[in-house]
Structure 1
Amino acid sequence: MKIYTLHSKQSLPITLDTAWEFLSGPANLKTITPDYMGFNILSGADRPMYPGQIIQYIVTPVMGIKTKWVTEITHVKHKEYFVDEQRFGPYALWHHKHFIKEIPGGVEMEDIVDYKLPMGILGQIVHPFLVKPKLNEIFEYRKNKLIELFGEYKP
């Protein structure tokens, strides 16, 4: 069983309050997801984030194939971190930790995603040329979109 990890950090020139309000708002995920993914929230994003919250989405990650994705917000520590875990969807495991901390002149956001692909060895074979590049592309899009929305951090 191979478990992969994606790790991303980004600093933004905004307050902790602003960062938390935006990043912990489930509806804002659509804003920082590439349009081609056809991201659409079906339910669960109608209130601020809380432990036990179930959010249902439709995404089109590859080749125009629509996929239902159901996540649960399992942990929330106000203005520090939250964790979402896939309950149903394209991965055999998806555990995404979002950390936010104040730094001089802004905030640092850190994402750590532990994930496992389905289909055993076939999943491992497609990981380096299909899944990993797609995830890197999505997180790069998010990074650029957050800069567009909030500005570039200059220490």
Structure 2
Amino acid sequence: MRYLLYREQQLCTDIETAWAFFSSPSNLSVLTPPEMKFKVRSELEEGGIYEGMLIDYNVTPLLGIPMKWQTEITKVMPLVCFTDYQRKGPYKLWNHQHHFAENEDGVRMTDIIDYELPFGLLGDWVHRLLVKQKLETIFDFRFQVLEKEFNKK
């Protein structure tokens, strides 16, 4: 079964700053809970992301089991959106869209993740038991990090 995770957050910053932060793969470790031991393994080039860019990671998503993950940047519209698609990793499908829209308060950032687990009915059971809550926890952590980074009061 395919699932959809949708999150929005208002950021009190300009579009250029938001884009620079989110389009830098090195910031992914800042946005991931420390217990997941997220590490970018790819040599990162100057100039940010581009279509066709492959990024390799190490991550420990569930039950302390380390995994390798590779995503490809499949779409880039500077200052508007980009999409990363899992090429290798724990999901049968992982397609993560990042959208940015300027408004009077700064930038509205939206994440849309279309995902599916492997193993059919077993994957659906694991989703209900573990994965759905884990993803909610990860994106709750991300929300708090972004509040501190962009919405300091």
> Per the shorter chain, which TM-score range?
over 0.9
Q: Single out whichever of 121-130 and 69-78 deviates more from structure 2.
A: 121-130
Alignment size in residue pairs: 152
| Local SS of the residue matching 1:76 | strand
Question: 1:137 corresponds to which letter in structure 2?
Answer: T
Give the corresponding residue for 1:135.
135
Provide the residue aligned with 2:50 in structure 1.
50
Q: Secondary structure at the match of 1:79?
A: coil
CA contact (8 A) 1:12 1:152 kept: no
Aligned mates of 1:118, 1:52 — CA distance in 2: 24
Gaps of 5+ in 1: none
Matched letter for residue 2 of structure 2: I
Which residue of structure 1 aligns with residue 16 of structure 2? 17
Q: Provide Cα deviations, 1:18-71, integer angstroms capped at 9, x if missing partner.
A: 100101111111111110000011004333100000000000001110000000
Q: Residues of 2 paired with 1:151 and 1:17: CA distance?
A: 16
- Looking at structure 2, the residues matched to 133 and 60 of structure 1 have their Cα atoms a distance apart, in angstroms, of 15
What residue is the counterpart of 2:40 in the other structure?
41
Q: Secondary structure at the match of 2:41?
A: strand
SS of residue in 1 equivalent to 2:56:
strand
TM-score computed with the length of structure 2 as normaliser: 0.96
Deviation string for 1:77-134 (max 9, x for gaps)? 0000000000000000000000001011210000100001011110101212200000
TM-score, with structure 1 as normaliser: 0.95
Aligned to 1:72: 72
Secondary structure in 1 aligned to 2:62? Answer: coil
For 2:3, the equivalent position in structure 1 comes to 4
* Structure 1 residue aligned with 2:91: 91
Post-superposition CA distance 1:1-33 (Å, at most 9, x none): x11000000001100011001011111111111
Cα displacement (A) at 1:152: 5.4
Q: Percent identity?
A: 45
Q: Where does the alignment leave 5 or more consecutive residues of structure 2 unmatched?
A: none
Paired with 1:109 and 1:140, the residues of 2 have a C-alpha distance of: 14
Amino acid across the alignment from 1:61: P
Report the Cα offset of residue 151 of structure 1: 1.4
